[in-house]
Amino acid sequence: MFHVKRRPAPDVAAALARYRAQIERYHATLDLMSPAGVADLGRHLADAEAYADVVDALDPAPTRALDLGSGVGLPGVVLAASFEGLPIELVERRAKRATFLRLALAAVGADDAEVVPTDVRRTAGPPVDLVTAQAVAPFADVYALVRHRLAPDAVLLARKGDDGGDEVAALAAVAAEGGAVVEGVAERPLPARGILRAVRVRGGGG
């Protein structure tokens, strides 16, 4: 069995430089980001790299990931560029952004990633034990959307504000209705704003 492996930092840096160039080239044509977002792209990439740091520290390591509402690929493309041996589904129902994600994955050489251009509720496939959801919805709502895809032991990872603790409590209440248990796994302050929170759901798969 091939294990998840963090790629060497110089290789990741080179891949992310190519990814950034793709965003800068196509952001207007494919309606990817606002001019302000592009101007602040360095911070967005730094936040996405923080996701990779948290994923790298998870124990046990994830075996399959799903990035919900991938958008321009933050953090999905960055994770795909940062790891080998970790299959990642980038779920994005907007056609233009799904097109861009395919270009971005090719640019970073992400052989383990695929774009899934549909609503996540319509997806099917092997269970995932890592779900990232950048600026998508509260944890409880994300859990409801992806529960049918979750492995029995899975981590939800997203950037949150000061109310992130309340979201974890709400998730725990929803998960408990189905007999699942929620545990806090990691918190990482982000450079500009917010906290990256990882929570583990045990017994919550569909």
Residue 60 phi, psi (nearest 5):
-75, 160
- Report residue 9's pLDDT band, with 50, 70 and 90 as the boundaries: very high
**Range 58-78 average pLDDT:** 95
**Range 61-84 average pLDDT:** 96
- Report residue 163's pLDDT band, with 50, 70 and 90 as the boundaries: low
pLDDT at 1 over 50: no
Q: Which residues pair with 90 in a beta bridge?
A: 67, 115
**Range 162-171 average pLDDT:** 81
Instruction: Give dist(CA 92, CA 19) in Å, integer.
Output: 17
Q: Which tokens go with 114?
A: 């695929």
Instruction: Report the predicted TM-score, pTM, of the whole model to 2 decimal places.
Output: 0.93
pLDDT at 164 over 70: no
pLDDT of residue 193: 78
CATH of 5-202, one of 3.40.50.150, 3.40.1710.10, 1.20.150.20, 3.40.50.2300: 3.40.50.150
Domain ranges of the chain: 5-202
